[in-house]
Structure 1
């Protein structure tokens, strides 16, 4: 039986970034069921840093994460974890109230926000339909960043290993139990023991808790679809921003490697699984792009889907389970797991080791009670 101080279960961005912070303080092993990090949600995200999603706590976590993306604690000669890219949010006449509310929230966390009208929006994204039948007003966030999901995963993995931590692949959990002094975690190939288990299993986090006899959080996994298509020949898209409607029944679109990626922002409930794109959702993404712009989606060149896991209040959860000693939750990252991962890892470190609450989080209005699982159980 392999022993450690902390076992982190789940090799998405939540698990690997937290493990990288734990490892300098305690012997840490990360168990990943797949053969690579970020196989599920973390590797299937549009990976964009912006303030257009989540509530005030999520935006605070996003703001507190920025320095890691711009100045990571790794090899200074390594490729950057992110690139500057603006985000643009737009409203129709029916959704102006939502745009006003979003502007108020975004200005709390960024000085890079400006209101723009139809002419400016058209200059930034020429195919966008503007006026009475389209976008009437928008917000431009010049502080947005395009994140490199794979590089984020690998950077955290390097930090974890450099501190003496270890990653075990193909280590799906088959059993987990408390023996009175610590946790025993069984996998197909080996068993592991540690006083602390960190449940960072994403969409499978509640299933893992049930296996351990721990009260679940009530996670809901929602499928999200992304398609990729080629722009018209000769249309320069490289400098386009991340474009998003303020309405939930809209879409987002962004340039990536010469193509345009788009999502209908679908929220279809799903069991924990290897999510696959649905034909209807792919068609919906194409239709919404064509409704809001003059673009046509003649052929879908890329397609994928991933699961976004939420608890009831849609705020990520970190902290020890109130009903199980040494069982630590790190779950419910929703659709903002990548852009909040540095702050969530910092919070998890403070809560797990009972450290002084980080100033970086407090300054953004994020406090321990916002994240701890007790808030979900009344």
Structure 2
């Protein structure tokens, strides 16, 4: 251990993205002394800061849908007053498909039925009323999912951050974890500049969570990061009220972003090692081709491109709970594409389990499903 400035906390959260700062806020509210350590100079530098977040009640598996529903009131309330501006802007979701893929639309309807989200089947004409640039030569049918929202990710992250700080949490940027060791019933977190002592390490390191686990002597759970490519392009259409349009096979999406611009993606999912991921020209080209195939937008150039990481456990269920083999080592990872919209509920579950409290319904019904205990063989 090389740290020279020792500090003692109840919990040290590794990672300053949405998972880390929301967990820190929830723990600090319970009276715990909390520090967040982030190796980058900027918080939310990887997944959170590059997300094109949309609240979709039907997105993800059953556990993620429960977490999303439990998080929604917090998002609608402006993060319980922590936000300086509205976090949500209404935007419905239009799932579209060419002929021959009706089963994909039926799957979307079935997913909405599990959450009680209103939705409706549309023929091509009905879908084009909502998004006039869809190409009738490609389009066969669609499903409109009501009750969706754009999420102001930056403001949500800042809301958790200012809430955590108001409750006394310390946030240490450029403090990457170099080593973890358990001594005398406490964890020693070495960041080089500081040696932090704590009862609980919260592993909210996103794509790097398996690496953090190895430092602690815990076996990795098999997290896999995937690249997701995003690009923007100009538009002359008056599109502010249009829905998010998604291929029912999830091969592309696009939606308005401000005046005269769309944001789009090929919805790619290429496995990649944890890194500062960059967009590939071939993926941007695939996204342009997919949008042009389904619409008359005739995209020929882009204004900006970027890529982010979406990290999943092998079963695509978030990993939230104490490691079964390392006392005081707590997992909060593998949220995949639902990490923003489920952040409030997952933070509550983190605080409940670490504080030794029984999660309230409906989180009590899925706590065991999210536990890393499921990876024991």
Structure 1's unaligned 5+ residue stretches are none
**Which residue of the partner structure matches residue 110 of structure 2?**
104
**Which residue of the partner structure matches residue 17 of structure 1?**
22
**Which residue of the partner structure matches residue 307 of structure 1?**
309
1:244-288, CA deviations, whole angstroms, 9 ceiling, x for partnerless residues?
A: 11214x101111122111111111111111010001001011010
Determine if contact 2:256/2:262 at 8 Å carries over to the other structure. Answer: yes
Q: Kindly state the Cα deviation for residue 207 of structure 1 after the two structures are TM-superposed.
A: 0.6
Describe the shift of the 1:95–1:351 C-alpha distance in structure 2 as closer, same or farther (beyond 3 A). Answer: farther
Partner Cα distance (1:210, 1:73) in 2: 34
Partner Cα distance (1:135, 1:224) in 2: 25
**Which residue of the partner structure matches residue 374 of structure 2?**
375
Partner Cα distance (1:110, 1:86) in 2: 15
Q: Kindly state the Cα deviation for residue 317 of structure 1 after the two structures are TM-superposed.
A: 0.9
Determine if contact 1:37/1:153 at 8 Å carries over to the other structure. Answer: no
* CA RMSD across the alignment: 1.5
Partner Cα distance (1:246, 1:302) in 2: 25
Secondary structure (helix, strand or coil) at the match of 1:280 reads: helix
Match of residue 38, structure 2, among 4, 16, 32: 32
Describe the shift of the 1:93–1:39 C-alpha distance in structure 2 as closer, same or farther (beyond 3 A). Answer: same
Determine if contact 1:310/1:334 at 8 Å carries over to the other structure. Answer: yes
Partner Cα distance (1:187, 1:28) in 2: 15
Determine if contact 1:312/1:376 at 8 Å carries over to the other structure. Answer: no
Secondary structure (helix, strand or coil) at the match of 2:100 reads: helix
Partner Cα distance (1:52, 1:119) in 2: 24
**Which residue of the partner structure matches residue 118 of structure 1?**
124
**Which residue of the partner structure matches residue 8 of structure 2?**
3
1:203-230, CA deviations, whole angstroms, 9 ceiling, x for partnerless residues?
A: 0000111111111110011000001000
Structure 1 consecutive aligned stretches of length 4 or more whose deviation exceeds 6 Å:
none
**Which residue of the partner structure matches residue 163 of structure 2?**
159
**TM-score, normalisation: structure 2:** 0.95
**Equivalent residue runs for 1:168-317 within 5 Å:** 168-231=172-235, 233=236, 235-248=237-250, 250-258=251-259, 259-317=261-319
Secondary structure (helix, strand or coil) at the match of 1:51 reads: coil
Q: Answer with 91-100 or 27-36: which moved more.
A: 91-100
Determine if contact 1:74/1:155 at 8 Å carries over to the other structure. Answer: no
1:335-359, CA deviations, whole angstroms, 9 ceiling, x for partnerless residues?
A: 1110111111111122222212222
Determine if contact 1:223/1:268 at 8 Å carries over to the other structure. Answer: yes
**TM-score, normalisation: structure 1:** 0.94
**Which residue of the partner structure matches residue 3 of structure 2?**
none
Q: Kindly state the Cα deviation for residue 73 of structure 1 after the two structures are TM-superposed.
A: 4.3
Q: Kindly state the Cα deviation for residue 299 of structure 1 after the two structures are TM-superposed.
A: 1.4
1:267-319, CA deviations, whole angstroms, 9 ceiling, x for partnerless residues?
A: 11111110100010010110100011111112110100011111111011100
Describe the shift of the 1:73–1:287 C-alpha distance in structure 2 as closer, same or farther (beyond 3 A). Answer: closer
Match of residue 67, structure 2, among 56, 61, 67: 61
Secondary structure (helix, strand or coil) at the match of 1:23 reads: helix
Matched residues, number: 370
Secondary structure (helix, strand or coil) at the match of 2:96 reads: strand
Determine if contact 1:106/1:113 at 8 Å carries over to the other structure. Answer: yes
Q: Kindly state the Cα deviation for residue 111 of structure 1 after the two structures are TM-superposed.
A: 3.4
Structure 2's unaligned 5+ residue stretches are 1-5
Partner Cα distance (1:99, 1:353) in 2: 43
Determine if contact 1:74/1:159 at 8 Å carries over to the other structure. Answer: no
